[in-house]
């Protein structure tokens, strides 16, 4: 306990290096050393854990007897589930628990070494730049945040939601809806494109679109006789229908 009360200071970089070493060891166990790992997880043995070590190695062993343990313990009894499910599913399950254990060890060190808010944030950001073991095992490494944001933006445009424009641009702006994708599920395609149809002619594709600031419907520029050059000078555009309704109420 004396060591916890007066911990030896470690930097964020040192804790991250420890994280990477343990992570590399766990990856070896679940990939290149997969057969060896499988054989060591004998269901006939007692509760076993998979440990990743800072020197990029791994070991399957019993949990430590010390209470509380010096470090957070990984998932207990991984060997008992080995023969109860397909091997691929079992490996995936171990990968998920391994990711959780790595995070808990890293932030245990962060607490023990007295990391402040900024140091903890930096540590998480460094860890978050790496794909998880689960993602690498399943081959589903996540897309970058920028790519995900672009995908979300494309979905918003295809469903007729007005994109946010910079202050220097007018709300009446061009829009090029995404081309139709050959999708066997006709219902999904219809739902995705339902909002991206012209409020005047009902068609869903053209080179130039303009949005009405009153009803928020999109129109082909040619259908409402607005050119791209003319749209650049329009601050608040109202479609013919909204303009007519305003005159009638007046």
Q: What is the pLDDT of residues 125-175, one digit of tens each?
A: 999 999 999 999 998 765 444 455 555 555 444 444 444 444 344 444 444
**Residues belonging to the chain:** 250
234 vs 226: CA distance, rounded Å: 10
CA of residue 184 relative to chain centroid, distance: 27
What pLDDT, on a 0 to 100 scale, did the predictor assign at position 215? 84
Which pair of structure tokens corresponds to residue 182? 């050959």
What pLDDT, on a 0 to 100 scale, did the predictor assign at position 90? 95
* Averaged pLDDT for residues 207-227: 84
Mean pLDDT of the chain: 78
pLDDT tens track for 33-59: 999 999 999 999 999 999 999 999 999
45 DSSP 8-state letter: S
Enter the pTM of the model: 0.55
With a pLDDT cut of 90, the percent of the chain lying above it is: 47
What pLDDT, on a 0 to 100 scale, did the predictor assign at position 107? 95
Which pair of structure tokens corresponds to residue 144? 């970058």
pLDDT grade for 3, boundaries at 50, 70 and 90: very low
What pLDDT, on a 0 to 100 scale, did the predictor assign at position 140? 78
Task: With a cut of 90, say whether residue 104 has pLDDT above it.
Answer: yes
131 DSSP 8-state letter: P
91 vs 87: CA distance, rounded Å: 6
19 DSSP 8-state letter: H
- If one counts every other C-beta atom within 10 angstroms of the C-beta of residue 23, the result is 22
pLDDT grade for 237, boundaries at 50, 70 and 90: confident
* Averaged pLDDT for residues 73-87: 93
179 DSSP 8-state letter: P
Which domains does the chain show, CATH number per domain? 12-138 (no CATH), 209-244 (3.30.40.10)
What pLDDT, on a 0 to 100 scale, did the predictor assign at position 157? 45
């Amino acid at each position: 306990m004396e060591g916890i009360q007066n911990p030896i200071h470690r930097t964020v970089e040192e804790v991250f290096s420890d994280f990477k070493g343990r992570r590399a060891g766990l990856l070896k166990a679940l990939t290149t050393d997969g057969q060896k790992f499988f054989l060591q997880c004998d269901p006939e043995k007692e509760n076993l854990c998979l440990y990743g070590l800072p020197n990029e190695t791994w070991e399957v062993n019993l949990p430590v007897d010390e209470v509380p343990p010096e470090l957070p313990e990984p998932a207990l009894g991984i060997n008992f589930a080995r023969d109860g499910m397909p091997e691929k599913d079992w490996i995936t399950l171990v990968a998920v628990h391994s990711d959780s254990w790595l995070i808990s060890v890293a932030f245990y060190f962060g607490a023990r070494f007295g990391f402040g808010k900024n140091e903890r944030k930096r540590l998480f950001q460094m860890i978050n730049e790496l794909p998880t073991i689960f993602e690498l095992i399943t081959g589903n490494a996540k897309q970058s945040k920028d790519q995900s944001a672009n995908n979300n933006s494309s979905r918003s445009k295809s469903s007729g939601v007005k994109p946010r424009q910079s202050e220097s641009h007018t709300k009446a702006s061009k829009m090029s809806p995404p081309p139709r994708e050959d999708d066997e599920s006709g219902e999904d395609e219809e739902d995705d494109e339902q909002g991206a149809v012209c409020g005047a002619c009902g068609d869903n594709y053209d080179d130039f679109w303009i949005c009405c600031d009153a009803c928020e419907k999109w129109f082909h520029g040619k259908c409402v006789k607005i050119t791209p050059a003319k749209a650049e000078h329009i601050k608040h555009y109202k479609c013919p229908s909204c303009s007519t309704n305003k005159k009638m109420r007046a």
